[in-house]
Chain A
């Protein structure tokens, strides 16, 4: 995605111009996403009043809730009312329990980012390292082993990996905590890192293979090129060739796949959150969708979209910085 986009010709530094342009597009995208989300919730069968009361709904109770929340007003009016609030930085209050969305979102997002960060700190260096190792030993036993193990890991659904880790580590070996895992703000960083050990490992297993294989493939691709052959003929050691010559040129696709996986660690972890009963964004989002709690759904949707957009932007910028040809457009 990154390499095909060319920065505009302006007087500004091209990288800066690109970032500014991306930020502008990002805001437009988020606005469009909020409208789509709103439409989506409207299109879902049953409104908040019906879903919130569930099986115990009576027509009178439904009518009373609708009247109180103004659900009888036209959809477009409600959307702009909500948008007005958001532009002032206020996501409003949850329809279901009246709690402040900003406050809840803050806590939940912190939990999600914390878990994602712990997983990323392990997964990114590990997968890139393993990818390089696989290239170094290509077609020999270590390469095969790395490939097989990572393929097995990626083939197992996350909930299964999670259950396996809970069973073997938390229940049998007594290492790490099983569900529920609730980080407490009072505990030290290290205590919380230990607490999220198992869910973080589950995520590592899930994202590892994707990044590892992309690293391996990109570097192998570069290894076919003439200058690597030259380096070999110069008599450089294979590790040095990979590290010094191949890796920097393979970095753009690697950065992209890393960014994609980092985004996944933030927005795609709902399954892991459920099986570890971890209070992150995913559960917050799903609970809200279940009862059509519009302010919460919108807020979560926007945060998720924002994370995706920011990470992709960083990936593009990273790719450009890593590639001098993109830095100096003709």
Chain B
């Protein structure tokens, strides 16, 4: 099906089939319109010939003076987006179908039990310091994020991989304790960039294998990388240089775009999208991703131990209203499990939970709650508009007779003092490349970030079985069962999946929307070009 669509999209891009016909046929193939439009966009981008040269400037939120070039420390947009210019991972995820694609690994193979993996490492790749990359560099890089001294943001995912990496000729061999069919996806994590000697000696040296070489690094101000003439892949990185300017203020970012100081900006506030759309020469690029905004309760803490109360709280969310008012329509409703159509093997037949005050009132009464206010903690640190979202939630709870009390918390320190500490709060998740990852980081009994205290042996068993299952049909069944369990019994209330909303000048061509993240998952400097460069 995907193949047919791709072929069709290429025909359409070359003008052999009209756009309308393409969309109609895509619908006949059972492909949702936004997905079809994205596939078509990519085909059009590929059909055009990139123009070399020019200096791309990104105006990005999510940078700070405290940023470092050490991949282990990356946690926000600017270090991530800049890293894509100069640092590379073994694997990247395909923007069209989400599959794992080779980058510094040429190919890979799993043993039948999915416990031993061999990744063939690309030859002839040189670091920016002129040294050739070896399999040992790859082994060391992965070890630095997983050994016992690691301070890496990737520790969460490395836990499921372990730390048994070794070199075997041209291959990286990974031995897992438990089977994992998703290993290539895990290695696409942006922290796992390959550094010379694994970066043990100089973690923040900023030496990678990427299409651009770091020239300016002023954390919290700007970062510039210039074209790497020795890059192994001539098909990416068309610019002479790529600069990331740190502009954390929403309005300033828009001013930078409209005044021409930046070619593209990230995180356009949903409230301003309609206004920005009217500006001449500006294109809004939004893509539905895997990120989601949540209300989470600890199911091991009173009063949330009662599943009827949890169901009451789930039925009392007006999801449509939240998508409409908080995201300005730039998102989609959630169904109380953290997976949407952007994931492979999405269990699409699960019924959407509606906003139903009667059902909510029914479950609330059945729970026997004493009527004392249920405290929801919120802060705009969780996501833009989180405080408004809590107020809307309070109003819809009121319709069901549920006394919700809102407590505003300071944005400063929200992640250490409220999230994963207080029993009921507002939060967000950025999504993960695979269902297994999403469930493993937050819903497995032993997960560090189990922010709903969802600890169920039966769920863990399904998760581990699905992780090692190479038969996709069986795997989907397992994921459906897990999603249902979490949806009906978990502490997660997931009203909405948010789009990534970027904006760019219409001179920026070859734009590829990537569900994995904004700024084309950070790869914008590699995938696009300026038409008058």
Interface string of B62-77 (1 = CB under 8 A from A): 0011111110010100
Please report the total number of B residues contacting A with Cβ < 8 Å.
46
**CB closest chain-B residue, reference A292:** B413
In the assembled complex, B204 has its CB within 8 A of some CB on chain A: yes
In the complex, the number of residue pairs spanning A and B with C-beta atoms less than 8 Å apart equals 139
In the assembled complex, A60 has its CB within 8 A of some CB on chain B: yes
Q: With A178-B255, A180-B245, A277-B249 as given contacts, are A46 and B413 in contact (CB-CB < 8 Å)?
A: yes
B148 to chain A: which residues have CB within 8 Å? 60
Partner of B65 from the list A50, A68, A104 (CB cut-off 8 Å) is A104
Contact A287 B64 (CB under 8 A): yes
Contact A283 B415 (CB under 8 A): no
Contact B150 A64 (CB under 8 A): yes
| Best-surrounded residue of B153, B255, B259, B419 (most CB of chain A within 10 A) | B255
B66 to chain A: which residues have CB within 8 Å? 52, 94, 96-97, 287-288, 290-291, 293, 296
B413 to chain A: which residues have CB within 8 Å? 44-46, 51
In the assembled complex, A122 has its CB within 8 A of some CB on chain B: no
**CB closest chain-A residue, reference B153:** A56
> How far apart sit A56 and B59, CA to CA, in the bound complex (Å)?
24
In the assembled complex, B506 has its CB within 8 A of some CB on chain A: no
Partner of A53 from the list B75, B204, B247, B412 (CB cut-off 8 Å) is B75
Contact A64 B251 (CB under 8 A): no
Contact A46 B64 (CB under 8 A): no
A104 to chain B: which residues have CB within 8 Å? 65
> How far apart sit A276 and B221, CA to CA, in the bound complex (Å)?
11
Contact A97 B252 (CB under 8 A): no
Contact A61 B59 (CB under 8 A): no
Partner of A276 from the list B218, B252, B412 (CB cut-off 8 Å) is B252
Interface string of B204-220 (1 = CB under 8 A from A): 10000000000000111
> How far apart sit A163 and B246, CA to CA, in the bound complex (Å)?
18
> How far apart sit A44 and B246, CA to CA, in the bound complex (Å)?
27
Contact B415 A279 (CB under 8 A): no
Contact A275 B252 (CB under 8 A): yes
Contact A170 B259 (CB under 8 A): yes
In the assembled complex, B378 has its CB within 8 A of some CB on chain A: no
Q: Which residues of B, 142-165, contact A by the 8 Å Cβ criterion?
A: 148-153, 155-156, 159
Q: How far is the CB of B53 from chain A (nearest CB, A)?
A: 23
> How far apart sit A312 and B143, CA to CA, in the bound complex (Å)?
55
A179 to chain B: which residues have CB within 8 Å? 247, 249, 252-253, 255-256, 261
- Given A179-B252, A284-B65, A290-B64, 16 more A-B residue pairs with CB atoms under 8 Å apart are A45-B416, A51-B413, A53-B75, A60-B155, A61-B150, A96-B66, A166-B251, A179-B249, A182-B245, A275-B249, A277-B248, A279-B220, A284-B220, A290-B66, A290-B412, A293-B66
Could you show 12 A-B contacts with beta carbons less than 8 Å apart? A45-B416, A51-B415, A55-B449, A56-B153, A64-B151, A98-B204, A171-B259, A177-B261, A179-B252, A275-B249, A277-B246, A277-B252
